[in-house]
Amino acid sequence: MKCPHCGSHVQDEMDVCPYCNKQIQTAVEDDAPTAWCESCGSMLPEGATECPVCGMPVAGAYDEAEEEAGNDADEGQSPSPELASALPPAPKPGEDRAQKDAPTRMRLVVVTAIASLFVVGGTALYITRPWDPNAYMIHATEDADTSQEGHLQSVSHLTGQDLIEDAERVEYLKNAEAKVDELKSLMKETSDCCAKYEAQVDGFLESGEFPEVSGVEELGSYRERIVNLHKEVADLDLRGSSREELAKKEMVVAEYLEGRVDTLHGVCETFDGTNDAASATVAVEAKMTSGAQGRSLEEWRQLYENAYAGLEP
C-alpha cells in the first residue's frame, strides 16, 4: 500500500511510514467510505477536495462545490437582467458567416467603383475642358500695340524681323541658283573636253598613231570639279526657287557625266608610258568596252547626252 501522507510504497503490515515517520491508518471500518487519489494512489481523508500528497483535485469535488454554490445563489439572489450586446452574435456551428456578408461586400465594391469613376472622369473633364477649345491657347489672337516711336500703332506681325528673314532668304536663293547654273555650264564644258579626247582615241584606233597629249591630267581636273560642285548643289535648299526642278535633273546628268569621265580617263591612261601600239590598242578597246560600273564609254556618252537634253528649256 501507499503512505497516505507521502505516497511512498510501504508494506501492508506497517503502522508507521519509514519515509515520513507518520502514523499509517491500516484499520479501516467497513462502513467508513474509503477514497484513493486517482493520480498517485494515496489515501484521501474524508471530505478532502485535493490530494494531500500530489495536490491534484479529487474527482467530483468541484462539481459538488459548484452545485452547492449554484443552489446558494438561487436561494439568496434574484436573476440579473440580460443586457443586449452591441457585437454581432457568434455564428452557429455549421453556419457560414461569409455567405451572409457577401451581398453587403459586393454592394460596397460596386458603390466604391462607381464613385471612383465619377471622381476620375470629372477630374479629367475639368483638366481638358473639351467644351472650350481655347482654354489652353498661349498665343495672342488680337493685334497688339508694339510701337516704340511714341505714338500708338497696331501691327499684325513683326515687319522688321520678317524683312530681315526675307532678305537673308533672297540672298541665299540667289547664291544657290548661281551654283545650279554653274553646274550646268561646267557639265557642258566637261562634255566638250570628253568629246575632244574621245576623237583622239578614235583616231588612234584607226591610224595606230599615239596622240600628242593623252588628256589624263585635264580629264582628272574636270572630274574633280564636277564631283565637288555636284555635292554642293545636292545640299542646297531650293524650296520656292525656279531652279528647284532643274537642280533635281542635274543630279542625274552629273552622275552620267562622272561615269563618262572616269571611263575615258582610264582609256587615256593606256597611252602613258608605252610605245607599243598593238598592246595599247588592246588595252584601249578593253577599257572602252568595260569602263566605270561595267558600262562602255559609248553607253555613258549616250546616257549623258540624252539626260542633258532634258535640261534645256
Extract the C-alpha cell encoding 68: 452547492
Per-residue pLDDT at 260 exceeds 50: yes
* Band of residue 249 on the pLDDT scale cut at 50, 70, 90: very high
Q: What pLDDT, in 10s, does the model give residues 119-149? A: 988 888 788 777 776 766 666 666 666 555 5
Q: Is residue 113 part of a domain?
A: no
Three cell numbers at 137? 491657347
- Inside any domain, residue 39: yes
Average pLDDT, the chain: 78
The pLDDT of residue 306 is: 93
- Residue 33 lies in domain: 1-71
Question: Would you say residue 253 has pLDDT above 80?
Answer: yes
Residue 9 in domain: yes
Q: Is the pLDDT of residue 231 over 90?
A: yes
**Number of domains making up the chain:** 2
Task: Give the CA distances from residue 61 to residues 53, 81, 263, in Å, rounded to whole numbers and listed in that order.
Answer: 16, 31, 129
At 265-289, the pLDDT tens digits run: 999 888 777 788 888 889 889 989 9
Whether residues 57 and 181 share a domain: the answer is: no
Residue 78 lies in a domain: no
- Whether 38 shows a pLDDT value over 70: the answer reads yes
- The last residue of one of the domains, among 71, 92, 111, is 71
279 in any annotated domain: yes
- Buried-state track 157-192, b at ≥16 Cβ within 10 A, e below 16: eeeeeeeeeeeeeeeebeebbebbeebbebbeebbe
Residue 227 has pLDDT above 90, yes or no: yes
Cβ neighbours of residue 154 closer than 8 Å, sequence gap 6 or more: 143, 144, 145
- Percent of the chain past pLDDT 90, that is, above it, reads 30
Q: Hey, which residues does 2 pair with through a beta bridge?
A: 9
| 166 lies in some domain | no
User: Model pTM greater than 0.95?
Assistant: no
In a domain, residue 82? The reply is no
Domain boundary residue, one of 52, 71, 90: 71
By the 10 Å C-beta count (0-12 exposed, 13-18 middle, 19+ buried), 83 is classed as exposed
Is residue 110 one of the residues assigned to a domain?
no
Residue where one domain finishes, among candidates 54, 71, 88: 71
| pLDDT per position as a tens digit, 10-27 | 777 777 788 887 777 654
Residue 247 has pLDDT above 80, yes or no: yes
